[in-house]
Structure 1
Amino acid sequence: MSSRSLPASAVRTLTRSRRVPLSQFRSRVSFSKARRISHKASDYAATHQAWKRPSAVIIAAAATVALVYTTTQFRAVQAEAPPSDAHEIVIEKSKKRKGASKEENRDLISSQHLQVKKSWENPGVYAWGSNTGRVVATESDEAYIKTPRRLSWFDDILLRDLKIDRNFGAAVLENGDLVQWGNAYSADVKQPTATLTGKNLTSIAISKDRIIGLGKNGTVYSIPVSKADQESGHKQSDSSWIPFWNSKSSISYRKLEPRNLGVGERVIAISGGLEHVLLLTNSGRVFSAASGTEDFPSRGQLGVPGVTWLTRPEGRYDMCHELTTLKGFEITKLASGDYHSLVLDKEGRVFAFGDNSSGQLGFDFNPEAPFVDTPSLLPTTRLYQGTNQSSKVTSIAAGGSNSFFTVDATRIAGQDEDPNSIPTLGKVTADTWACGLGIRGTLGNGKWTHIQGTPTRIPSLSGLFEYDEKTQKVVPIRMSQISVGSTHASAVLKNVTYLDASERSSEDDTNWGSDVLWWGGNEFYQLGTGKRNNVPIPMYIRPLDVASEVEMGRKEEHRLHLTPMHDVRLKGSGRKVRMEQRVVCGRNVTAVYSAV
């Protein structure tokens, strides 16, 4: 109902929740309840005392003269055309349709609600970027896929993990089986094919020519990318549930086995570059190993001083090396670029090692020592020197020749400050920092820097706040996920989301998900903008399912939102699962997938 249809004595105002752009610090306008404002006739004149009536007559006469003068002058001014910058008040028409259901009207009034709904009803994979390896569009001869395109093989399929390269793709199905596709796997196979099965994989990492898979029990597998190598290589004996009965594996693979693990200690996370892989145990220890067969990692990315192909210890080329210099530090997170590595401990300290030719380790480039082969502490506290803020790194990400860090900076009292006089004492600001190669805009700071050693703040992803209606407080907006490809990156914001719209709530009650932004190299259309120019500042792209937006009659631009983790009952089977949408940036390609 519009305000024009209400009686003059009452005006109803409804304030819809909407998101403010990042440039305005993304403050959320809260829902306000419908309120009715009524204007009653004043009885002030009836209470006038008699002795005030003469003065009232005089005032009335003066007002009449003033009214005549003002009216004359007003008409004189309006004899000319109104100024060109005059803004006409336009009342927006309701987007709802008569006779439409509650859910249909929600789809009409909110693009975000429609995106959440589609992600639940039609889980799957969207991909875009370089298609020279037939990874993004398996049966298409197009060299580039400029905007998100759905991979039909993954329709209604949930994944545990997904990694893509311009030459091959690899995914872990909901049951833990590995599937592969792309020309590097086999030019003759057009659709994803199950390869390593029955190992209950939870996550994968990829190198130039191998896939590293982590089993739920902590076993780490190294599988050739090529179908031909899988078939021709040595096949191990797989144990069976039948006692004393073993069988040969259907494909060739190797196991990466860290030595001297403690009782109950197992690998819980992996991260890999083009030639190496890092392994993290539940005790906080880190191991590294060669992950490819083409080149041995010799740029310090293993974190073992002096190790090269010629100086490596006797044994397998892909044996696991413990990073003994990290003893005493409980490591919680790993990140890997092409030729460098990052680890984060539970106290928020970052250690970096490997190639530093672009400053990706967070240290200034030294031409006499282009790489660092020993884990070195990154002095992140210097980034906040003189700000009266205490900093702690909360997450790390890496890819290509770039590294990213998210930091919680807490306001503290300075030496000469009285804590009781600081209203913002204890206030937390969430910042995002980047270092490394910036010539394609991958630093996200708006500059085209060749080499960036000292981490630089990303303004669009730092110092963001919003109002949380549940806690009724202003809270910092952190990053939920940062995915980094060879030259581009994406960030999913951990903004306040809402997924509780139901049949019992009003038709104005709509769901919304997480904001996601993209920046960096775009020569292969990997940003999904439909254009080819590199972008040095994080930006939005259009929704994955543009056809659904057009069907709703939306001509204006709307941005992509990703659905966060939530319990969902699948439409087809009726099975209840806990799922979300995730982003993965690869080598000149990008994908969004439905994950469990």
Structure 2
Amino acid sequence: MATRVWGSATPSMRSIIRPSVSAVRVPLRTSRRGLASQNAQQPNGAPNMVVRGLGAAVAGAAVYIGYSFMKGDFEDVPHEIKAAAEKQMINLQDSQEQLVQEKRSLRSPGVYMCGSNVYKVVDPGSKDTNVKTPRRLKYFNGQVLRDLKAGEKAGAAITENGDLVQWGKGFSEKEFKPTKTLVGKDLKSLALSENRVVALSSDGTVYSLPIAKEEQQTGPKTQEGSWIPFWTTQSPLSYRTLKPTLGFGEKVTSISAGQEHVVLLTSSGRVFTAAASTEHYPSHGQLGVPGLTWSTRPKGPVDLCHEVTALVGSPVSKISAGDYHSLALTKDGRVFAWGDNSFGQLGVDYDSEQTFRDTPFALSLQKLYRRGLYAVQATNIAAGGAGSFFTVDAQRVLGPEENPKLVRDLGHVTADTWSCGKGIWGQLGTGRWVHLQDSPAKVKDLSGLAEYDEVKKQLTPIRLRDISVGTTHVAAVMDNKSAITTKTTESLDKSRDFGYDVLFWGGNEHFQLGTGKRVNFSRPSYIKAPSEVSKKDEPDARLQIMPQHKGKVDKRSVKMEQRVECGRHVTAIYAATV
């Protein structure tokens, strides 16, 4: 069981009590109800000077009492300080309220969505143009999904048995409710471009089909194989398969799409790109092939797959695509970027004469830290819209002429989050509103965090478990699940674990942050958990993401977890199979 250090302070308060990397953090959790109300009153996390002063005082008291507890001399703590700190201790009633919303989420898996509903993506049966707080999409009640992606005009999901479901006016102006389309392909993940769905099957086949139902029905049909030898049939809808040149035993394992392109990652760590738009050919260098344009493309299909040869020799472990740029994380911890740099999303200087780079290059992560004092390795990447995020582990090493006996934090690992690109809506999470950020900026509220691991008996860094980047907003799930007891269980009814903290920030012009108010956040902030209409007296609790657990679906025991997906002005939280 890990004692959570920061989970119950608002981002602004954490910035007050954050010590140096060599200091021990405060292993105390505050009242959760207090957090929810405080966060609702101060969505941008900007307490006044009085609150800052009180926060610093309580933090100091907490450190003193925490130290006294460990020494066993708590009785010597002055009564005034003890009383102030006790208010910051865990409140069992508030914890129960937090577990109420978690148990409800576990017992009734499904999809919650908020944001723009002009195209009937968030709630197909509602006349609301915007859905202000997370609302259940009734079609998916009681379902767990393999994947889900949502944009402003259309949504798509893969069911538990691998079928594709589509909805929204971008899919059909007349029948925009969820409808199964591509079935029987054992799909496992998908990506949305401007007007196409790209789906990956379990056997590595990549399907590309139009989002619009009419184009699926009227477009050219593919001849499909049959279980009967030498017998083929015509597919019921129009689709294409993307066919990269693969080696023996190699297959595509991951996909990510921008507005006009798709990036493919293979089991050998190779990267391929292809056009993924019915109307436009990628023209911002996002295919990662030097000099490739519509006029210079090789003969063959428009969506011919091209290997990104600049990455040959650097096996890739993860890919991520923004609207018109791409990122790749190598197995040795480097980040490569290519494509559009109109807003500095590649993390290098903006050049008005050359706004994109069609040759992948490695970001210089070492320059973000004091040279010679830290060993730097990237651990995660995420791209979306015109923004890029990457997380870095920076380990303190012995610098030139340093005496190891005098370096107190030698070997200490700091987990940091960096962002670059367009931040006019605050989506970079740095607390600033900037039109262009072409040098990576640290997201301080998600950097330098740590918790005390009572199993390992040491402080460990808190990293991001997942990050989803939409066009104007972002969500981050922290890897900090805590438990009330030391006993571990996957049982739905017996588990008393808390979920993962999830924070949102960025544009809220369509209420996609789920706060119920049209206020943008420039720093990561908590939101309230969705309430049930039938339970108006249900206590408030902040939203958390459910970790892996076993739940009941149609009387079956299914292993599942919750995931967050940020799209174009839309947010979805769904139960996913694992």
Question: TM-score when scaled to structure 1?
Answer: 0.81
For residues 353 and 90 of structure 1, the distance between their equivalents in structure 2, rounded to whole angstroms, comes to: 50
**Residue in 2 that maps onto 1:427:** 412
Tell whether the 8 Å contact from 2:101 to 2:541 is kept in structure 1 after alignment.
no
Whether 1:342 aligns to 2:327 is: yes
User: What's the counterpart of residue 77 of structure 1?
Assistant: none
Once residues 260 and 380 of structure 2 are traced to their aligned partners in structure 1, the CA distance between those partners, rounded to angstroms, is 23
Aligned to 2:551: 569
Change (3 A) 1:504 1:130: closer
Tell me the residue number matched to 1:20.
Answer: 8
- In the alignment, what sits opposite 1:588? 569
Helix, strand or coil for the counterpart of 2:337? strand
Structure 1 Cα separation of the partners of residues 440 and 417 of structure 2: 9
Match of 2:200 in 1: 214
Is 1:125 the counterpart of 2:108 in the alignment?
no
Q: After the TM superposition, which residues 61-210 of structure 1 pair with which residues of structure 2 at under 5 Å, given as runs?
A: 109-210=95-196
Distance 1:154 1:498 in 2: 29
Shift of residue 343, structure 1, vs aligned partner = 0.6
Q: Which moved more, 1:532-541 or 1:492-501?
A: 492-501
Per the alignment, residue 33 of structure 2 pairs with: none
Paired AA for residue 578 in structure 1: K
The residue type equivalent to 1:299 in the other structure is H
Once the two structures are superposed, what CA deviation does each residue of 1:500-538 show, in whole Å capped at 9, x if it has no partner? 779999x99832010000011111111111111211001
The whole-number CA distance in structure 2 between the counterparts of 1:248 and 1:547 is 47
Equivalent residue, structure 2, for 1:328? 313
* SS of residue matched to 1:551: coil
Distance 1:221 1:90, change over 3 A: closer
Secondary structure at the aligned position of 1:110 is classed as: helix
Distance 2:289 2:84 in 1: 68
Distance, in Å, in 2 between the alignment partners of 1:173 and 1:181 is 13
2:286/2:326 contact within 8 Å kept: yes
Could you list the per-position Cα deviations for residues 200-229 of structure 1 after superposition, in whole angstroms to 9, with x for gaps in the alignment? 111001101100000100000001100000
Return the letter of the residue paired with 1:240. Answer: S
Q: Does 1:283 align with 2:268?
A: yes
Name the residue aligned to 2:77: none
Post-superposition offset of 1:89? 9.1
Letter in 2 for 1:414: G
Deviates more, 1:420-429 or 1:147-156: 420-429
Task: Note closer, same or farther for the CA distance 1:17–1:467 as it changes in structure 2 (3 Å cut).
Answer: closer
* Matched ranges for 1:499-518 at <5 A: 510-518=496-504
Deviation at residue 321 of structure 1 after TM alignment:
0.4
Larger mean Cα displacement after TM superposition, 507-516 or 140-149: 507-516
Q: Distance in 2 between matches of 1:509 and 1:170?
A: 32
Q: 1:381 aligns with which of 366, 379, 400?
A: 366
Please give the TM-score of this superposition, normalised by the length of structure 2: 0.84
Paired residues of 1:468 and 1:496 also in contact (CA < 8 A): no
For the 8 Å contact 2:7–2:501, the answer to whether it is kept is no
3-state secondary structure, aligned to 1:213: strand
CA distance, structure 1, for counterparts of residue 108 and residue 260 of structure 2:
36
Q: CA deviation at 1:547?
A: 5.2
Unaligned runs of 5+ in 1: 1-14, 38-84, 97-105
Q: State the match for 1:478 in structure 2.
A: 463
Name 1:265's counterpart in structure 2. Answer: 250
* 8 Å contact from structure 1 (residues 358, 437) kept in 2: yes
Query: Quick one: which of 182, 187, 209 aligns to 1:223?
Result: 209
Alpha carbons of structure 1 residues 308 and 17: separation in structure 2 relative to 1, 3 Å: closer
Aligned amino acid, residue 561 of structure 2? E
2:376 is aligned, of 391, 394, 417, to 391
Distance change in 2, residues 1:186/1:474 (3 Å): same
SS in 1 for 2:103: helix
Distance 1:18 1:283, change over 3 A: closer
CA distance in 2, matches of 1:355, 1:329: 22
Q: 1:540 maps to what in 2? A: 526
Q: d(CA) in 1 for partners of 2:137 and 2:209?
A: 24
Choose which of 435, 448, 451 in structure 2 pairs with 1:463: 448
Partner letter of residue 273 of structure 1?
G
> What do residues 522-572 of structure 1 show as CA deviations (whole Å, max 9, x unaligned)?
1111111111121100100001236588534x3xx5311101122x130x5
* Aligned amino acid, residue 589 of structure 1: V
Across the two proteins, how many residue pairs are aligned to each other? 516
From the superposition, tell whether residues 548 and 496 of structure 1 become closer, same or farther in structure 2 (CA, over 3 Å).
Answer: farther
Which piece of structure 1 moves more, 306-315 or 172-181? 306-315
Describe the shift of the 1:17–1:504 C-alpha distance in structure 2 as closer, same or farther (beyond 3 A): farther
Distance 2:195 2:403 in 1: 59
For 2:428, what is the secondary structure of its paired residue? coil
Structure 2 partner of 1:246: 232
Could you say what secondary structure the match of 2:283 adopts? Answer: coil
Paired amino acid for 1:558: A
Residues 482 and 16 of structure 1: is their aligned pair in 2 closer, same or farther, counting only changes over 3 Å?
A: closer
Match of 1:352 among 311, 331, 337: 337
What is the distance in 1 between the residues matched to 2:230 and 2:548? 43
* Deviation digits for residues 563-584 of structure 1 (CA, Å, limit 9, x no counterpart): 1122x130x5332222110000
User: What's the CA shift string for 1:384-442, capped at 9, x where partnerless?
Assistant: 13471111000100000000000001011111212243232111110000000111101
For the residues of structure 1 that align with 2:369 and 2:5, how far apart are their CA atoms? 35
Of the structure 1 ranges 542-551 and 405-414, higher mean CA displacement relative to structure 2 is found in 542-551
Given residue 322 of structure 1, which amino acid in structure 2 is its aligned partner?
A: E
2:28 paired with 1:29: yes
RMSD of Structure 2 on Structure 1 (CA): 3.1
- The higher relative CO (CA closer than 8 Å, separation ≥ 6) is in 2
CA distance in 2, matches of 1:451, 1:477: 29
Per-residue CA distance 1:168-195 (angstroms, 9 max, x = gap): 0000001110000000101211421100
Unaligned runs of 5+ in 2: 19-24, 31-65, 73-79
Residues in 2 aligned to 1:89 and 1:377: alpha-carbon distance in whole angstroms = 50
Q: Is the 8 A contact 1:391 1:410 kept in 2?
A: yes
Distance 1:27-1:176 versus aligned 2 partners, 3 A rule: farther
Tell me which residue corresponds to 1:53. none
1:297 to 274, 282, 285: 282
> What is the rounded CA distance, in whole Å, between the counterparts of 2:291 and 2:6 in structure 1?
56
Structure 2 equivalent of residue 491 of structure 1: 476
SS of residue matched to 2:434: coil
Q: Distance in 2 between matches of 1:360 and 1:349?
A: 16
TM-superposed deviation, 1:88: 10
Residue 474 of structure 1 deviates from its aligned partner by 1.5
Deviation at 1:20, TM superposition (A): 3.1
State the distance in 1 between where 2:490 and 2:384 align.
45
